[in-house]
Structure 1
Amino acid sequence: MTDLSPITPVRCPHPDCYWSVHGIPDKYTEARTRHIAAHEAEEHGTAAARQEPETTGRHTVDSITSDQLDDLQDRLQRAEAERDAAYRERAHLVAYLASRYLSHIGHTDPDAPDWPVVIVETPAGQMSWHIAERDLELFGHVRPTSEGLTGWDGHTTEEKYARLIDLTAARAAEGGDR
């Protein structure tokens, strides 16, 4: 549902000034206050308006320092490293699954041609995952995709994980590898 919060004009409080801004929803009080303060500083030279507005913890291009930029870049690198580690963990599990069932790997997704796709044929149905190039060494045991191998069967991510749940349940019912 679309949020239809009220939007009333932001008007200059000076009685002889007809300046106003439209389009800022009423719920964004800090943004509305900053616009009035900037207008008052520029047009009316008010000392109070020249003070820095309260920070919201959000950086802008005009206010960011090089130290803050370095901090943001460090945070981004840490987040990317965490993401890559999670993908690496998943790749290990997919490589194991591919060692258990008929599988192949290739650049077969026309929507993501730079990403290799591992297709695993299981008794519960086909499953596939995109794999990062940096994780390809985990899949040396998987044959390359070629003519004659089954391509993607059109399963969705939800169907893939439902199949994985079914496969896990079947293996558990058999007693697994115990």
Structure 2
Amino acid sequence: MNFTVEQIQLMHGNGGYWCQGDAVYIQANGDIEAIASYRLRMLQGAIGITSNLNTLDAFKTKNAIASKNLAYSERNQMLAAFCRMAVTSGFTAGVGRHEGENWESDWRNIVFVDLPTGQISFHIHDSELPLFAFLPVYEGKWDGHDTDTKWKRLLSL
């Protein structure tokens, strides 16, 4: 894994760098040049590896969450466009709420579309609701489909 200087500087918050597979502890702020020296000394066996894995894990987690949120945002933009096409094609679509079992409170919104192949639904985050403001409240109920069935129904159009 190769990190840019900017990414390494972001990880420095807790004093550790992750450098192309070698965890290196750098004490001085902004001492990026020290990384090459540390890596060379490690390769020569002159020093061991000192790592701050909490820093690395936090950095990876932050990037994974950002990537996941971007993927959901892009999916929801595509879903909003699909819903507009579905409604103009005469299909029923709307926004409902996930009731019951434990579920994250800001992910309880569900976009439903009734297709000739069956119902499909997607949970959306509260922050994405404005994308679907054109949809009415969904009057139907979830038909019990799972994710695999949803995608089969959508791709069978």
Unpaired stretches in structure 1, ≥5 consecutive residues: 1-53, 56-62, 168-178
CA RMSD of aligned residues (A): 2.2
| CA offset digits 1:89-146 (Å, max 9, x no partner) | 111122122222311112234233622111111122110011111211111111123x
Q: 1:155 aligns with which of 138, 141, 145?
A: 145
Q: 2:110 aligns with which of 117, 133, 138?
A: 117
In structure 2, the residue matched to 1:72 is 57
Unpaired stretches in structure 2, ≥5 consecutive residues: 1-47
In structure 2, the residue matched to 1:22 is none
In structure 2, the residue matched to 1:127 is 120
Q: What is the deviation of 1:159?
A: 1.1
Does residue 106 (structure 1) correspond to residue 96 (structure 2)? The answer is yes
Structure possessing the higher radius of gyration over alpha carbons: 1
Q: Which structure's residues are more often strand, by fraction? A: 2
Q: What is the deviation of 1:158?
A: 1.2
Q: Which has the higher contact order (CA 8 A, sep 6+)?
A: 2
Q: After TM superposition, what 4+ stretches of structure 1 lie above 3 angstroms from structure 2?
A: none
* TM-score normalised by L of structure 1: 0.51
Matched residue SS, 2:156: helix
Q: 1:87 aligns with which of 47, 53, 72?
A: 72
The AA in structure 2 aligned to 1:159 is T
* TM-score normalised by L of structure 2: 0.57
Matched residue SS, 1:82: helix
Work out whether residues 109 and 117 of structure 1, in 8 Å CA contact, stay in contact via their aligned partners in 2. no
In structure 1, the residue matched to 2:156 is 166
Tell me the percent identity: 27
Matched residue SS, 1:106: strand
CA distance, structure 1, for counterparts of residue 83 and residue 63 of structure 2: 30
Aligned pair count? 102
CA distance, structure 2, for counterparts of residue 72 and residue 156 of structure 1: 32
Q: What is the deviation of 1:72?
A: 2.4
